[in-house]
Structure formats: C-alpha cells, structure tokens
Amino acid sequence: MMLISYSLLVFSVIYIVFLQSSFTTIKEKRVMESQKLVEMIGYEIDIATSMGTGYSKNVTLSDTILGETYNVIVVSNLVIVNSSQSYTASIITSNITGTILPGDNRIENRDGQIYANL
C-alpha cells in the first residue's frame, strides 16, 4: 500500500512539472509569434512608405496568435499588437489611415499617404 501511495505521489509531481513546462513553452511561443507579427506589420508599412505612390500589397495576418485573439493599433510611428501583452515595432511614417485587422488586409501608398483596408 505504501508503495502505491509513493508511486502516485511521484507520478503526480512529475505530471505537475510537465504541465508547468508545457504552459511555459506555449507562453514563450506566443511571445515569439507576437513579436514576429508586429515586426512583419511594421516591415510591410515601411515597404509601402519606401516604395512610394502606387504601391499596393495584400497582406494576410493570422486570425489568432496561437489561439489568443489580438488587435493592431498604429499610432504615431509605432505598430502595437495587443493580446494578453503588448508588442511594439517602430515604423518610419505616421501618415497612416485605416485599420489593420487579423485576416486579409490591403496596404497602399497613395501620394505618400499609407492606407490600410480603405
């Protein structure tokens, strides 16, 4: 009986450690994916700015970040991705009109003004 109790205790401890490790790994992946997403959005806006008038590109963003919903805010010279945490990337322009959303987006440069989904 004592052996069974001891075995159950050891199994429970190992299982708890495994679960904590899994949650940590998922959180780390979510941080990396969020940072990658905000940098990609910033890069696409910078390319649209640099290429000049007439540039247009369809950009598809994931609907979630590893199952977590998010939104995108562009303010001043920053792109911000908000989920359970906020992630930022600097951009070279503040002339942006429109909203960037999860899913399909169209980024355009019209006479030096960057438009998102307009």
On the question of pLDDT at 74 being above 90, the answer is: yes
Domain residues for the domain of 76 are 2-116
Determine contact, residues 91/109, Cβ cutoff 8 Å. Answer: no
The rounded distance, in Å, linking the Cα atoms of 20 and 15 is: 9
- Tokens for 56, please give them: 């247009």
Q: How confident is the model at residue 93 (pLDDT cuts 50, 70, 90)?
A: very high
Indicate the pTM of the whole model. Answer: 0.80
Predicted pLDDT of residue 23: 67
- Tokens for 45, please give them: 């806006």
Mean pLDDT of all residues in 15-40 = 83
Residue of higher predicted confidence among 92 and 18: 92
Q: In the chain, how many domains are there?
A: 1
